Amino acid sequence: MSATPAGGTSARLLISCPDRPGIVAAVSGFLFAHGANIVSSDQHSLDPEGGRFFMRMEFTTEALDLGRDELGREFAREVGDGLEMDWRLSYADEPKRMAVLVSREEHCLLDLLWRNRRGELDAQVELIASNHPDLEPDAAAFGIPYHHVPVPPGGKPEAESALLELLEGRVDVVVLARYMQILTGAFLDRVGVPLINIHHSFLPAFAGADPYRQAERRGVKIIGATAHYVTEELDAGPIIHQDVARVSHRDGVPELERLGADIERAVLARAVKLHLDDRLLVHEGKTVVF
């Protein structure tokens, strides 16, 4: 959202720590002392009296008096350690490496690839993997490697091993763009990077299978989609973004699926962008979105 400087690059500092007076002064003082100019700043406190404090600062790096590694070490030493901070530094010119998992429906995948191509999503898309071969031509049109990793009945362990081999150490984030397989806790433990999923309902309504059928049966007047970080408990991870569309008695399940596809791709793309731009912090099963 905020304008990045035309020349040079920018860095983002994400912080989570116990709230106390002086945090903003300490961080901004440190950055000023080392030649950074803060171009954007967001903060949130759960409770100024002993709650958790969250902050995101974006700053220019042209005039920094330290290298990237040094800056991190100095920040820890001068500020972070003393204030018991969890913190993360990232740079706009080091885009995250991303994998997309998908099944047969192409709308979310295509939208991500198209936004990536036009520079809207700042990621290096390393690979696409799918339990079906159908979307290989779409991947090819964007020049992204496509891996068909089938999941036959009883074959989930082998499939997850194959996926892990593709992913481990090679990507920074995995996006489930309508990947219709449930991933095991063992897989999530081993993959070691965040996963973002799009669920085709307005969670927590209609968790689980066939949400549009559930919605049609209940006669709701609005449907939605939810992008969330994946945790072992199905459809219960921290919600990143949601959106909705108005429907009526005229809309049967096929119409809900069609309308829903538009929301799904928009919500997922937005959630992925927030993650890529380092605008998300997770705390106690919920997200702080800067």
Q: CA 178, CA 106: separation in Å to the nearest integer?
A: 8
**Contacts of residue 245, Cβ cutoff 8 Å, sequence gap at least 6:** 222, 223, 224, 259, 260, 262, 263
User: Residue from 69, 143, 209, 248 that binds a copy of itself (CB under 8 A)?
Assistant: 248
Q: Which is nearer to a copy of itself, 37 or 164 (CB)?
A: 37
The one catalytic residue among 111, 235, 277, 278: 235
Phi, psi for residue 224 in degrees, rounded to 5? -155, 180
Window 153-172: residues binding a copy of itself (CB under 8 A)? none
Q: Which is nearer to a copy of itself, 179 or 202 (CB)?
A: 202
Window 54-113: residues binding a copy of itself (CB under 8 A)? 60, 63, 106-107, 110
Q: CA 104, CA 116: separation in Å to the nearest integer?
A: 20
Q: How far is the CB of 146 from a copy of itself (least distance, A)?
A: 15
Place of tokens 């903060």: 43
Q: Which is nearer to a copy of itself, 172 or 251 (CB)?
A: 251
Hey, what are 14's tokens? 């994400």
- Site stretch for a copy of itself (CB under 8 A), options 73-81, 159-167, 185-193, 280-288: 280-288
| DSSP H helical ranges for 41-94 | 68-75
Q: Show the site string, 8-47: x = touches a copy of itself by CB under 8 A, - = not.
A: ------------xxxxxx--xx-xxx-xxxxxxxxxxx-x
- Burial of 219: CB neighbours in 10 Å, binned 0-12, 13-18, 19+: exposed
Q: How far is the CB of 198 from a copy of itself (least distance, A)?
A: 14
User: Residue from 84, 120, 232, 233 that binds a copy of itself (CB under 8 A)?
Assistant: 120
Cis peptide before 18 (omega within 30 of 0): no
* 285 binds a copy of itself, rule: CB under 8 A: yes
Q: How crowded is residue 133: how many other Cβ atoms within 10 Å of its Cβ?
A: 11
Q: Is 235 a catalytic residue?
A: yes
Catalytic annotation, residues: 235
